[in-house]
Amino acid sequence: MSHEPRRRRLWRPGKKTMVAAGLATTGVLAFAGTASAQEADPVQVNLDNVWILLAAVLVIFMQAGFALVEAGLTGSKNVANIMMKNLIDFCAGAVAFLAVGFAIAYGGSMDGFGSFFGADGFFLGDGAFTYGTLTVPVFFTFQVAFAATAATIVSGAMAERTKFKAYLCYSFIISLVIYPVVVRWHWGGGWLFQGSGPLPTGYHDFAGSSIVHMLGGITAFWGAKALGPRIGKYGPNGEVNALPSHNIPYAILGCFILLVGWYGFNPGSELAADAAIGGIAVTTTAAAAMGALTAMATVWIRSGKPDVGMTGNGLL
């Protein structure tokens, strides 16, 4: 697939959406030359939009998986708090991303600042744009699912020791500003994508390994560092204690839900219903299976017995 950027185009609700031509689309979000919907194969246009909308639904469903994994591997007294936090990750994040985040990530730019953040297309109004054959509503739905994923990664690292009000503020801010700015730098055609200095050819991220998961991981690290360990995690002499899980069936069901979601997350990042999505699905399958087996073997060798929680985490 080509990694050349695609030129953006405007979209206004109530008017016929213009779609891009050309099948050499990138797996990362970038800009390319455009053509009208009449010049594109209408069947392919519809297939692309249906597939990406389905992929978005699968990624949004991953929120249920995150909630079950987190609830299953923590104490029963905190289940309601954990479920509420995962619910708010999507709800607060979706409102923030619709109002401001999407415009920062993909909107038109102010002079001199386009490589860092967008400045129009708020609430999907004038200036909102999309890629390839996708309509703006479909593209936004796929992107808001990614934003919610970046936000919810942090929840597990801060489990059982975060006040709900503080977490509500975090969920809103990360989808409002933090995640959109990082997206702009790359998927939005910003300075990382364009290339400069030590990255003259630009930086490419197909499905969010850095933009979504590294951002979530770094945020989770600093959140956990600020909060400190869970009560009982370390003994008086510094020994590491295994904290009891609340509900292993919850956790494993959540792992399988997340696995299903990966088939929307990874193949969906192709942003088109083309032949490449099959190979991406195979890679996703192999990675999940080998990850689970490797995690199981590692724990088995080190402790003398397999651990279902670690095996489930390896699946992810």
DSSP codes joined into one string, 59-125: HHHHHHHHHHHHHHTS-GGGHHHHHHHHHHHHHHHHHHIIIIIHHHHHS-B-TTTTTT-B---GGG-
pTM of this structure: 0.82
**How far is it, in rounded angstroms, from Cα 171 to Cα 93?**
6
pLDDT at residue number 28: 33
* Residue written as token pair 């936004």: 140
Cα atoms in the Cβ-side hemisphere of radius 13 Å centred on 288: 19
**How far is it, in rounded angstroms, from Cα 129 to Cα 49?**
15
How many domains are there within the chain? 1
Token digits for 71? 């609830």
pLDDT at residue number 110: 61
* Residue written as token pair 């989808």: 175
Cα dihedral 220, 221, 225, 226 sign: negative
- Whether residue 169 is contained in a domain is answered as yes
- Whether residue 171 is contained in a domain is answered as yes
Residue 109 phi, psi dihedral angles, 5° rounding: -115, 155
CATH of the domain at 215: 1.10.3430.10
- Whether residue 27 is contained in a domain is answered as no
pLDDT at residue number 111: 58
**How far is it, in rounded angstroms, from Cα 155 to Cα 167?**
8
Q: How many CB atoms lie within 10 A of CB 222?
A: 11
- Whether residue 97 is contained in a domain is answered as yes
pLDDT at residue number 39: 66
Point out which residues pair with 234 in neighbouring strands: 240
- pLDDT tens-place values along the chain, 316 residues long: 333 334 343 344 443 333 333 333 333 333 333 334 446 789 999 999 999 999 999 999 999 999 999 999 988 888 999 999 999 999 999 999 999 999 999 887 665 565 677 878 888 877 667 778 899 999 999 999 999 999 999 988 888 888 999 999 999 999 999 999 999 988 888 878 777 666 677 788 888 888 999 999 999 999 999 998 888 888 888 788 778 788 999 999 999 999 999 999 999 999 999 999 999 999 999 999 999 999 999 999 999 999 999 999 999 8
pLDDT at residue number 237: 82
* Residue written as token pair 């998927």: 187
- Whether residue 278 is contained in a domain is answered as no
- Whether residue 90 is contained in a domain is answered as yes
Which among 54, 63, 205, 38 is positioned nearest to 138, based on CA atoms?
54
Residue 148 phi, psi dihedral angles, 5° rounding: -65, -35
- Whether residue 311 is contained in a domain is answered as no
pLDDT at residue number 121: 81
**How far is it, in rounded angstroms, from Cα 264 to Cα 273?**
12
* Residue written as token pair 């695609």: 6
CA end-to-end span of the chain, whole Å?
26
Which among 176, 152, 175 is positioned nearest to 162, based on CA atoms?
152
Q: Please compute Rg for the chain using Cα positions.
A: 21
Which among 22, 273, 3, 26 is positioned nearest to 138, based on CA atoms?
273
Residue 244 phi, psi dihedral angles, 5° rounding: -65, 145
DSSP helix, strand, coil percent of the chain (3-state; round to 5) = 60, 0, 35
Residue 179 structural domain: 47-246
Q: List helix spans (H) across 111-247.
A: 136-157, 164-173, 179-185, 191-194, 215-227
pLDDT at residue number 125: 79
- Whether residue 303 is contained in a domain is answered as no
**How far is it, in rounded angstroms, from Cα 268 to Cα 284?**
12
Per the CB < 8 A criterion, the answer to whether 211 and 183 are in contact is yes
